[in-house]
Amino acid sequence: MLNELREERLAVGEKAMIEDANRFSFEVKSDLTLDGKPDLIAVSQDEATVYECKSNEQKDSHQIQLMVYLYCLPRCLKQYQDIKLKGCLIYYPNKKIEIPLSIIDDKFIDHFNYWLKILGADNPPIKAPSKNECRYCNITKRDCPDRLD
DSSP result, 15-26:
EEEEGGGG-EEE
Say whether the peptide bond before residue 129 is cis (omega within 30 degrees of 0): no
Q: Given this model, what pLDDT does residue 15 score?
A: 97
CA pair distance 131, 120, nearest whole angstrom: 27
Burial of 16 (0-12, 13-18, 19+ CB in 10 A): buried
pLDDT of residue 127: 79
| pLDDT value for 128 | 83
Cα–Cα distance for residue pair 100/80, rounded to 1 Å: 15
Structural domains of the chain, ranges and CATH numbers in brackets = 2-104 (3.40.1350.10)
* pLDDT of the residue at 137: 86
Pairing assessment for the beta strands 40-44 and 15-18 based on DSSP bridges: antiparallel
Q: Residue 124's pLDDT is what?
A: 81
What pLDDT, on a 0 to 100 scale, did the predictor assign at position 113?
95
**Dihedral through CA 13, CA 87, CA 119, CA 54, nearest 10?**
-90
Give the pLDDT score at 138: 85
What is the pLDDT, as a whole number, of residue 31? 86
What is the pLDDT tens value at each position of the chain, 149 positions in all? 999 999 999 999 999 999 999 999 999 988 899 999 999 999 998 899 999 999 989 999 999 999 999 999 999 999 999 999 999 999 998 899 999 999 999 999 999 999 999 889 988 878 788 988 898 888 888 988 999 98
CA of 56: how far to CAs of 28, 36, 53, 89, 140, in Å?
A: 31, 20, 9, 12, 25
Three-state SS across 90-143? EECCCEEEEEEHHHCCHHHHHHHHHHHHHHCCCCCCCCCCCHHHHCCCCCCCCC
Phi, psi of 16 (to 5 degrees): -125, 115
